[in-house]
Structure 1
Amino acid sequence: MRHSRIFRSSFEHMVCLFVGVAACTVSSCTDDTFDKYGQQGASGMLAFDVVAPGSWTNGSAAANPASKDISIRKITQSGGDAPLYLVTEIAEAAVDTAAHRVMTRGTTITGETIEKYSFGLSAICYTGDWPGEDEENKWTTNFAHNIEVNYAQNAWNLKEPLHWTGSGRIKFFAYSPYSAASGSSDNANSDTIIHSKPDATGVPTLTYTVPEDVTKQKDLLYAVADCGGDGTGDIQKGAVHLQFKHALTAVTIQTGKNMLAGKVTGITISGVHGKATCQIGTGNWIPDGDDPNSSFSIDYDEDVELGWNGDDLMTNPDIVLNKDEEGYTFMMIPQALTDKAILTISFTDSITEMNRTLTAKLEDFTRDKTWAAGKRYTYSVNSTGIVIKPFIEMTINKTLYPNGGYKGGDFINLNEENLYTAMSDAEKLAYLPVSGFLNDVSITAYTHVVQAGAADETKEQYRKLDFEIQWSFNGTDWMSEKGQKDSHDNPMGWCPISTPKTIADNTDWKSPVSGSILLPAQDQFAYMQDFLYGERPSIEGRTLPGTVTPAGKGTETAPFNLVTDNSVKFKESANCYIVNDHGYYTFPTYYGNTYNVTSTSSYKYQGARDEIPAAVDTLVLKDFVDYNNDEIGQGSISGVTDAVLLWQDSPDLVTDVKYSNGNVCFHVPKETINQGNAVIAVRNNEKILWSWHIWVTHRKWDENSWIQLSSMNEYQKPFIIAPCNLGYCEPHGGEAERNIFMRFVADPKLVGGNGVILNEQLTINGAPRKSSEPKEEAVITFTQPKIAASVAGDNTYYQWGRKDAMLPGIHNDDTYKNGLADTHKLRLELDMVNKIFYSTDNFRFTSGETARSIGESIQFPYEFFMHQRPLGDKIADDIYKRRHWHDGSNVSYRLKTIMNYWNTELIQSGNAAYLSYDKQDDPDYKKAPNDKYVVKTIYDPSPAGFKIPPIKAFADLFDNVKLEKIDKTTKGTPNATVVSQPFVGWTVNIGETTFYFPATGVRDMGIEDKKIDYGTFPGFSSITYIATSGFHKNDATATNSSCLIFAIDKRTGNFQNCTVPIDGTNNAYGFTVRPIRDGQKGN
């Protein structure tokens, strides 16, 4: 048996100190050899996830304007009368980017990263806590010492292999470029980078000597990672995460906006430290000696010509005098500057042709008189002391992507390994919802005015910068936001939250303003919105009244309560809430159907438990359970710490989800309200406790829309059926992917040119530029994804017995062309695709293995449980798992199959022998328990006031139909009229009432051809399967125990295009739900 432990004694501590590089194969933190291939949280061999820092950039072009410092001082000159000024800009390096991550085991990459250079790696294996700043650090680089890691064959490769230790901790110290020199090596005095000795204690150090030749100066990088010996900690995708940062200071000299034309013949920086030592990762450099006496010069091969800017005597601004691409960027040691630090520029102006030596004490022109690590200091030479610069910074926060960051296909392709392919980083960056709405944007917009020699209170001023947003479909023809509204009267462009445009407050123009941006929506998105405004006829041919009002429902501080403010007679909680208008909403965190009631009937069997028939006793759940499979004892949900959005099938349908004082709150924006579905969950410590379905629709389920049937329940009260399927959205057409371009325009007097903001004046986070050239117009390029047609409309599906809304499926001409041969057994099954949804990667709607408990179904409402079909249906256990999602035999309630999920009092199986039509006067489907009054449970997915029906509720739809058994090859007389061209469903006429049943198929069970990780998919566009509360069969172990459904089927069969009175099928399908009115009992 393998034993391991963390060393604690002083002897053990010394062992770890002296093991050294031998720890590659034997752990210095455990007492035995570590199994390299899978015994711990990561595989044995170390891998590295390398992130290059953002490239050095001009201060105003790409740096965060809020973090940039600008100062102006008059500089000394050797001759001439015209005053010259030095403008200093201090800018952060561009944000570190994770565009290229590579691992030692061969992850493929593209593009240019730091793979051009190798990096050095040292590591310390330690136990306990890492020593604090005031503690003496006795550790040495015992795990790895200055090992070279280089890039080859699309991977980072260690010169010496390293393996995880299995316990303890490992702290990694990396730097680039690599140097073999160390304090004890022969070339220690000649190399510019020297690593500390192997026996040195504490954090390893680098001693850097700046080469006098500027072109040989290195951009030194460093990275630190702290990991557990078992592969935890600073780990990404199983690899040690090394995020490199700049260790030095970059210095650039350039012309300002008002610099006389001429030429520059040389630049020198003198009186600074040229050698220092730094602990890797700290950024704190200790100079070698107290006297800063180093000097670094640029001697040009050819003078830098500063030509005239048109008729102006000035040269063009922002001409870099020490270009990085020519190797002339000064890479200096970060340090405190003294009065010896001098910048000298040799300059000849074109007006007098006088040779000038311009000098400046750098400490006077540098904030805090310090060069900080990782910053670029840009010194600009001007001949006027006033500089005006516009700044706009926009940050777009995106958390929800199509399909959680994946692209779906136009049809189900069995040749693919998965239903989806991952979006690239570039695609995510360019993503614009089909709504055109960016709901979480912050913009900072101001002009920065600096005047040399002015009084302190006036030398640096910030002023607001008013702007407008323009957009284009082709990048040429631009439209302005001014006065523009979309088809539903929503203002286009930038919409700040509760503040005037571009204004943060009256004192600080640099503060970002939060808001949203509305760009043009795809036409089909706007078409679907029209229904909520009463502008389109529904699938039944009726134009329903509009439900959207100008004011909407509730406010952010006083949201509309979906329980206490609704129109249901008995204010009750539910697992689905219907929303018809934009606004702010809330509901209490109660289980479905438990609010405002004292009865426990929704979660406890109320009858005499000892009188339950023995044949079904093992099928009846007496006490309903929660997420933890514990019996529910009250209606309110305890332990809630937060609320989250899981998924939604229309972009930004629901936003701002939060938990507050026992309630879930959310917002439905007016800009994005549409027909759609969303699922919200409450959690404790990131574990889901319960979830709810939010259905946004133009349909109101009230006394003006529901339909009373003639068939009666066991109390001789008529069934009242909902006007449509739960979660239904109207049919719509398709639309191609398209680009939308956006730009900012301001007053030309403030920004120059024609007023269009240039790249150098704009910082963008969360969207791509069309061009990165500083002097070109800043154009942002968005991509709106395609919209797939849904010819029959679509609705949420429900696995029998689960409360959770499952993602709808759609079908159209593309989905029918699945590439399968006419004789293929799945050709007519795999003819639908998933409706697009929007989520984070954490809550993607996806597949999960079956044989789950009720508690697991509650914890994973975004998983559809399924099992791969066994070949030839020959394995009974696999057959059962494929046909049934539930198996609670290993949890406290011990039931493998349950019959009363959706009716707590159901203790009798229904008769599904629908071919026995010799009982026309007293058909079996009307007998008990098919007419059983449904006691609504906490697992019922219906909205307040509605519930899942028993099978008899649909009796009107086939009572007067002549049904007889016929050969499958003989066409029968249908009673359901096909709505075709294209095929979208059926109408069934009963007297003067017309019922419409859209062909929305089912969410399919597992198939032989694909494993479960392929994903979950809809199927059978030619059927409508509506679930009921009924159950068929008494045997808990039988694979054919099933739920009862109402069905219509277009496929060739016994009753093609006929309503089937009663049928039983597998409860692992995802079914359509058509609820009935609750409360039809007594007086």
Structure 2
Amino acid sequence: MKKQIFYHALSALFVGGFALSALSCAEDTMDNSTSDGDKEAIVRFDVSDAQDEALSNAPALTRGLLTSGLTDADLADRVLPIESNDNLDACVVESTIEGVNPTKADAATRANIINIQSLGEFSSAGMRGGSDDKIQESWFSNERTKSDGQLVKRIPWSWEKRHGIFYAVYPKVDDHKQNIKITAPTSNTAPTVDFTVYQDVKKQVDLMTACTGKVLYATRHQAPSTSLNFRHALTAIRFAVGPNLSFNKSIRYISIHKALLRGTYKMSNDLNGEGTWVAGSLKEPGTVTLNGLNYSTTEYPNSIIRDTQLDNDKYKNETDVKKIEDNYTFYMIPQELDNKDVELEVAFTDNTYIKVKLAGKWKAGTTRTYKISQKQSNWDYKLDCTPSVEVPYNGTEATIRVKSYRKVANNPSQSVAWKVVGYDANGDGTYTMTEKPAWLKGFTKDNGTGGEADEVIKANLATDVVDYLAERNRGLQNATPVGSAAQPYNLSNSNGAANVENTANCYVISGPGYYMIPLVYGNAIKNGATNEDAYKSKAGDNPVSINKARHNVTLPVLCDHTGKGITNPWIEKTNGGANNNVNGAQLVWADDANLVNQNSLSIHRIGGNAFVKFEVTQAGIKSGNAVIAVKKGNTIVWSWHLWFAPKNAVDKITVTNKQGKQYHFTNETLGWKPTKWIATSYEDQRSVKVKVEQTVGNNGVKQASIIEIKQNAYIDRAGNTTLYQWGRKDAFPSANPALGPLYIQNAGDKIYMQAIIQNPGYFYTTVASNGRIQGESYLSQYYKFYNLWSTHNRSVGGLNAGNDNKVDKTIYDPSPVGFSVPASNAFTGFSESGMNESPLSVKGTTNEAEYNANGGHLFWTNTNKNATIYFPATGYREYTKGNMTSLHQSANYWTAIPHDFNDGCNMGFARTVILTRSSTTRTYGLAVRPVSE
């Protein structure tokens, strides 16, 4: 850190100011106007501070930077016993730090250095010679030098005598002739300084020296860089009021007795070298005194004893000696103290005193502080903070109040400084500065001077509110487009290639592009091979009494749009190619007009296999649903549900039911389309605990307080899902679709296998009288099968009855690839007992505001209640008219198991009630929450 701007280099780390004295050696009589000098190359100095450079650049806890041989023992704190004429319960605590700390003195006594304007001149001297080993000629001395390193008298370098060495000393000898005497340097030795300490502390000065080391004038007419790196030769001593001192007295003076006040200091010959005090040169034991104090012991704990007449408001309660700008620093010659009878005396205005035998060693370039303290303090320390503060999700400020003070009998209270010492963001009870969360941006202040009155501080908080619907739609629109018109992306292939891997009746689309779907019945192809388990039953005959007649309720082979049993996964290849030449495709319905480019719907053929092809544009894609169908002539032969959602919609959430069975549900309900979703980025109230601690305490024990800052979470969510009639693959909207050319809300009661396949947009109803289905209804006669959603199923469920039997996904299952409609016990974990009308196992959503804000329930996924799964209140479509009911109020979710030939098993809930195993008429339109196969 070497600069020619002296006020920067001699920074505030120096004690007092520095106007370097002239050396007392003989003056060089050289005439600078002779040809011996190069007038362009003028001697000047770069002035730096060894202490500043060492302490600024040193790693933490490094010692011995300035004073060689400095040990941990030299810097260790120690308690020194006292003697007193009043039996005072006191002691002195000694501490040492490396570096001489700054003070600001009166300009007349210490030539305070604050900036370039207040910097005084200093003196310099030089030796020179014709070679590096013959620097023997006295060149100049007692030369006034400006604060920027320029000599007042211009002294040029000589090309014939290009080698030099320079010295400097502070303070100016002319101002201290009785106390500072300097010998001249010679060709073999550096100068020495005979130094005597002033007995009046207010007149004392620091002693600093510098040497450039050998300097070469190497390039003619270009002055070399010449550095003076100053070092402290003395020990600085300060005094303070210790933290435990509770008696009320005023200090009158402080003296040090029998310290050696005179010695000889030999300067270094090197730029970075240390000078040394000459062994045996220390003598003249005497007393130094700081008089006229009248300093109260009830000052702030650890406050530095200072001149209270100098800006008392600024320095009151100051504990950092580097910030005190007075002339109360003792500058003493470094010396041994053990067994030397050096004694500290502190006298009070009531004629009491304490005396302390000093120990250890004063070392050059260090600052020692003696704190007057008490063995057992009577102070009562108080730290009162706002224990907890809660702000809304959009709150940016939390107001905190802190009181920090101490009291002792018959004395006024004293302020005690406090500071934030740690954070606990994870709730483990440990406090570190590294646990401060990003959302706590900071405080208006994280420390204070304290007091019995409230200190008000503000915690500045971030707000993290996200429009998840907008973010969801942006994600869909900004996804990289896939496929092309010539080579569409195959949704049945994990990489979009033409070969068919896994098929389904629902495909998730998460970005724009050109897509195709193979003309395959549901999940009839699995892992690239025919999956006969999807359409051929092994259940056998299952006769059930229906209206006093026996009926087989197992469909042996699931049928196509003509009612014939399927023999091949491919639509055009089943039953000997009866459906060959599928020649058309169209939209059935969509909940947004632009989700699918209707003009792009067409049949695409690759190697004898048919696909339906369509385009999804970047401008048109958003969260939503559509149903498309393929036709032969004017007859629909199959249809598919397109769910426009992020890929993570089919991530898995594990739920454990009351029977201990794990089900892996899709992340979102099938066909979920949020219509409003604004929430904080965090699901639960977030909080952090902040530990505040007083900087001092009674007998070393510091008071601490914990402040908890809480920021509430927020959510406002609503949406729609697709709805399904039990046993059908066909998705229906829960709001009127934007486009619905083939959608009919009430298509009549003629429900049977051919009709539902040929009319995927028809919502079939059921005629009922007084809530009872007529025995001659189509539902009872032709839609009675038990295995429409589980191929080999023969079992039923009902009220509080169900099972965890394996579900064999059929070609009529509405779920995406890898998922199926769940078994009838899948939802039992959502009530506390697993039974109907038991208390709900939810995270707070029985509260009306929470339920409405979420638009449904947050069910616990396990008995540990450490994770949740969101089920929206989807409402339902009535089985008699097809109209939408109870959207955002209640919900029902199908299972794959029937209750009987008219009803299917389901789970239903409202805000305060749940039926984990219930049943309802198959022609209701209910939601589906698929589970992993």
Higher Cα Rg: structure 1 or 2? Answer: 2
Task: Considering fraction of residues, name the structure with more strand.
Answer: 2
Q: TM-score, normalised by structure 2?
A: 0.40
Q: TM-score, normalised by structure 1?
A: 0.35
